[in-house]
Chain A
Amino acid sequence: MKNKLKLGLAAIAVSTLGLAGCAQTSDAIVIGSQAYYSNEIVAEAYAQALEEAGYEVERNFSLGQRDVYVPAILEGEVDLFPEYTGNLLQYFNPDASETEASAVYDALTSALPEGLSALAMSPATDQDSYNVTQEFAAANNLSSITDLANLGSVTLGGAPELAERPYGPTGLLSVYGVSVEFLATGDTTVESLVAGDVDMANVYSADPRINQLGLVTLSDPAGLFLSSNLVPIASSALDQGARDAINAVSLAMSADDLVAMNVRSVEEELSAVSNRRRLASFRRPNQLTN
């Protein structure tokens, strides 16, 4: 509990610094985003949808990590934020045991603090997933995490925190009976997988490199991973019209659309903030894949 208080104070201090410079104009809907390009693209899609529906919008993107921006949302400095169901649920309730998409969404709705609401959940997901190279999958006949149990030893690469996550080495052992040796590969996880330093890597499912490098994502039949669908988090400042406009975007966006947008962003080096016009097609995500 004391930790939470410390964290809260630190986060408020940081967010006050970060947001102090951004004067809030009258009635504009303030849209925030994480400092993660894919999240920024989605935030921009929300912004354009709202502008098209006649709302005034203020973009306050790239607010950093959850520890920084969640207090800002709670303070009412941000009205709308693209989030991910599983990860946000874990933030508000670290002990949550739900992993299936709709169960996670329901748990999140009740875990959200007063004044915040989750709008309609999008079919698009961006969640942790275990990936292997095509060669490794073919050589060992892998398609699901279950298949790993036949292998003698597996090295798993990922961010340092994966060592302690419920879906990390402990979860693999208890849910699938797969014992892995963990290597904290940090920001070089995908590179380490390709170089053969690790056999399997934790990569976000919407990461364009899965597609570009032809990685094989192992299926997770037992629901080890927390589902993390895109979900807009809104404050009470959003009226019904605005909510409807955002819901239309969420429902239209599929997991493939999200990946396609990320691939485009990476390959064409488009930035959601600096190249707004060229990204206009992201407004109607279903047109993207063409």
Chain B
Amino acid sequence: MFDIPDFIGWLLNPENWQGRYGIPNLIQEHLLLSFGAIALATFLALPIGIAIGHFNRGTALVVLLGSASRAIPTMGLLFALVMLLGVQLRELAVVIALVAIAFPPLLAGAYAGISAIEKHIPDSATAQGLTPWQLLRIVEIPLAMPAIIGGFRIAWIQVTSTVVLAPLVGLGGLGFGIIQGLALRNFDQVVASALLIVLVTVLGDQLLGFAQKNQAFRLGHLSGGKNK
């Protein structure tokens, strides 16, 4: 449907790599907003998820939040937050809207990772004299790590593909090229920007996937188990 040389040409045009809305700036803003949201969501979701998994209480909350998050209209939430906080805090509004998306998978990942640990493992660790805090730090969290990283992978994909909405409220990010390109009917710009978004999303996911495999392999190796 589209010509490959046209949007490659747009990508290679040095004009598009300069200024406030040049590609480097847009990528940077895209990543900063995404990292900000995921960092804040991590801070909130991991302790709660780990606690739920550890004490095996409040699992209903995980299910509830997981389903509820799917019903949130992100764009509506974004506009409501901008109106509520005022345009001068629009970065914060975007980050909060993205936290709402990143929170459930992170929570679910942490919870699933901890609760999947077979009961005899924490029991024997306790029997060996580990305090509850040591048990969490030395045994449970490392064992849950692959699942926790799995949560990060889902959160990353959802956040980096939703931060595309930021230009609607006057911010940058790679969605800018799509929104500007559609209005100008510059479809090379639209395709090129979409490609960059996919690239950033997939690259981040692959990196996290690598970390996840690495972690799982290390665990298998240490325990001499089936992952060896």
Binding site for B on A (CB under 8 A): 2-3, 6-7, 9, 67, 157, 159-161, 163-164, 181-189, 191-192, 195, 197
Contacts and interface: CB of A to CB of B under 8 A. Distances in A.
A7 B185 contact: yes
A161 B168 CA distance: 12
B169 A161 contact: no
B169 A164 contact: no
Interface in B82-130: 82-83, 86-88, 90
Given A187-B168, A188-B169, 19 more contacts: A2-B3, A2-B6, A3-B6, A3-B185, A7-B187, A67-B185, A160-B179, A160-B180, A163-B180, A184-B167, A184-B180, A185-B87, A186-B167, A186-B179, A188-B90, A189-B170, A191-B83, A195-B87, A197-B170
Contact of B168 (A9, A67, A186, A195): A186
A3 B169 CA distance: 28
B64 to A, nearest CB: 32
Contacts of B176: 160, 184
Contact of A195 (B20, B86, B167): B86
29 contacts: A2-B3, A2-B6, A3-B6, A3-B185, A3-B187, A3-B188, A7-B187, A67-B185, A157-B170, A159-B183, A160-B180, A160-B183, A161-B184, A163-B21, A183-B20, A184-B172, A184-B176, A185-B170, A186-B179, A187-B79, A187-B168, A188-B82, A188-B90, A189-B170, A191-B82, A191-B87, A195-B86, A197-B87, A197-B170
The B interface is mostly helix, strand or loop, or mixed, namely: helix
B1 interface: yes
A6 B6 CA distance: 13
Interface string B178-216: 011001111110000000000000000000000000000
B88 to A, nearest CB: 5
A186 B2 contact: no
Contacts of B188: 3
Contacts of A197: 87-88, 170
A169 B41 CA distance: 39
A187 B169 contact: yes
A63 to B, nearest CB: 17
Contact of A186 (B1, B6, B170, B187): B170
A181 B187 CA distance: 25
B17 to A, nearest CB: 15
Contacts, number: 69
Nearest to B165: A186
Interface in B1-58: 1-3, 6, 20-21
A12 B83 CA distance: 36
Contacts of B185: 3, 7, 67
How many residues of B sit at the interface, in one of the four size bands?
20 to 34
A197 B88 CA distance: 7
A67 B183 CA distance: 10
Nearest to B3: A2
Contacts of B1: 6, 9
A1 B180 CA distance: 20
A6 B50 CA distance: 51
9 smallest beta-carbon distances between A and B, as pairs: A161-B183, A160-B180, A185-B170, A191-B87, A186-B170, A188-B170, A195-B87, A186-B168, A161-B184
Contacts of B169: 186-188
B180 A183 contact: no
A184 B21 contact: yes
B88 A183 contact: no
Interface in B129-157: none
Nearest to A165: B184
B187 to A, nearest CB: 6
Contacts of A161: 180, 183-184
Contacts of B3: 2
Nearest to B178: A160
A184 B173 CA distance: 11
Contacts of A7: 185, 187
B205 to A, nearest CB: 27
B15 to A, nearest CB: 11
B89 to A, nearest CB: 10
Contacts of A185: 87, 170
Given A6-B1, A6-B187, A160 B87 contact: no
B69 to A, nearest CB: 24
Contacts of A9: 1
A159 B20 CA distance: 15
A93 to B, nearest CB: 13
